[in-house]
């Protein structure tokens, strides 16, 4: 969560004014943990060119050899303390990308926006909680 908070400080969010940070720890093909990778949201006047923090972190981890998400941490700064989960959870695109690299053991940790760095407030969930009917291709 500390890495997600640090990444959030670099977010570029002139349109939504919501700075988001994410960090992810992924395992490689042999089951070894890769590096902790972080990302932040980078908005663009052409909204389709915006990159969310979650995808930024995951894509960096994949580039470093990651294949399975062990843990994904998310935090945002909306200016509201204890923002509702529906306002803090990943967008649909990010949920689908997360599901591509998640398994039943993946932990998704979403900070409630508390400014208290000592005590965690928020949710810990799995991919089935985040995306109960996620799209996947049939097995070959």
Is residue 119 annotated as part of the catalytic site, yes or no?
no
The answer to whether 52 and 91 are in contact (CB under 8 A) is: yes
Q: For the chain, give the mean pLDDT.
A: 91
What's the whole-model pTM score?
0.91
| Per-residue pLDDT at 130 exceeds 70 | yes
The answer to whether 12 and 26 are in contact (CB under 8 A) is: no
pLDDT confidence band for 116 (50 / 70 / 90): low
pLDDT digits (tens, 9 = 90+) for 1-48: 999 999 999 999 999 999 999 999 999 999 999 999 999 999 999 989
Beta-carbon-side half-sphere exposure of residue 60 (alpha carbons within 13 Å): 19
| All structural domains of the chain | 2-130 (3.40.140.10)
| Per-residue pLDDT at 119 exceeds 90 | no
Q: Is 30 exposed, middle or buried (0-12, 13-18, 19+ CB in 10 A)?
A: exposed
What's the confidence (pLDDT) of residue 64? 96
- Out of 9, 43, 54, 119, the active site residue is 54
First to last CA, the chain: 37
């Amino acid at each position: 969560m500390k890495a997600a908070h640090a990444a959030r400080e670099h977010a570029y969010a002139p349109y939504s004014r919501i700075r988001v940070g994410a960090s992810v720890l992924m395992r490689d093909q042999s089951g070894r943990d890769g590096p902790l990778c972080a990302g932040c949201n980078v908005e663009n006047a052409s909204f389709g060119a915006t990159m969310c923090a979650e995808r930024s972190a995951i894509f960096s981890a994949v580039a470093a050899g990651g294949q399975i998400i062990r843990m994904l941490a998310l935090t945002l700064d909306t200016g509201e303390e204890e923002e509702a989960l529906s306002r803090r959870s990943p967008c649909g695109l990010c949920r689908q990308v997360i599901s591509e690299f998640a398994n039943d053991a993946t932990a998704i940790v979403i900070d409630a926006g508390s400014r208290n760095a000592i005590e965690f407030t928020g949710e810990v969930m799995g991919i089935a909680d985040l995306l109960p009917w996620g799209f996947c291709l049939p097995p070959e």
